[in-house]
Amino acid sequence: MEAFPRRADGYHPLATDANAQATTMHRQNLGAAYRTIMPFFLMIGVVLLLVWRFIVAPTVVDPKPLCGEGQLQYLVQPGDSCWEISRAHGLPLEELQRLNSEVHCDKLLPGTALCLPQPPKHS
C-alpha cells in the first residue's frame, strides 16, 4: 500500500510541497499567455520585413559596371598578384595599373575586381 499516489515518471509530492498544484497552474497560465501574445510578435515581424522590403531593399541597386566597353572584369583569386595576372593575360603591368588606377597592387585582396582588355577575336 502506498501513501502517496504516483505519476508515471515516478514523481510524488513531498509533504512540504504545498505549492505543487499552484506551480502547475502557473505553468499552464504561462502557456496561454504565450499563445495570446505570439500573433502580436508575428505581426511585428511581418511589418519589419515589409519595411525592409519596400524601404531598404529598393535602395540596394545593382552596382554599375566597373569596366567599360571592350573590357573584361576579373576577380582576384587567393595568391594572385598584379604581375601574375598581367602575365597570364598577355599585357604589360603598366597597362594593368593604368586600367585599374584605384587598385593598389601591394594590397591586392581576393575578390577585388580588375578590368582587363578583352582579347582580340580570331576569325
Three state DSSP letters for the chain? CCCCCCCCCCCCCCCCCCCHHHHHHHHHHHHHHHHHHHHHHHHHHHHHHHHHHHHHHHHCCCCCCCCCCCEEEEECCCCCCHHHHHHHCCCCHHHHHHHCCCCCHHHCCCCCEEEEECCCCCC
Residue 46 has pLDDT above 60, yes or no: yes
At 9-26, the pLDDT tens digits run: 777 666 665 555 555 556
Domain 71-117 CATH (choose: 2.40.50.110, 3.10.350.10, 1.10.10.10, 3.30.70.360): 3.10.350.10
- Tell me the range of 1-5, 37-41, 44-48, 116-120 where mean pLDDT is highest: 44-48
Instruction: Find the farthest-apart pair of alpha carbons in the chain and give their distance in angstroms, rounded.
Output: 102
Residues above pLDDT 90, as percent of the chain:
20
pLDDT grade, residue 44 (50/70/90)?
Answer: very high
35 versus 28: the higher-pLDDT residue is: 35
Contact predicate 115/103, CB 8 Å: no
Cβ burial, residue 85 (10 Å; 0-12/13-18/19+):
buried
Sorted by where each begins, the domain ranges of the chain are: 1-61, 71-117
For residues 81 and 88, give the distance between their C-alpha atoms in angstroms, rounded to a whole number. Answer: 11
The model carries a pTM of 0.46
Residue 60 has pLDDT above 70, yes or no: no
Handedness of CA 113, 115, 116, 122 (dihedral sign): positive
At 63-111, the pLDDT tens digits run: 666 787 888 888 999 999 999 999 998 889 999 898 888 888 888 889 8
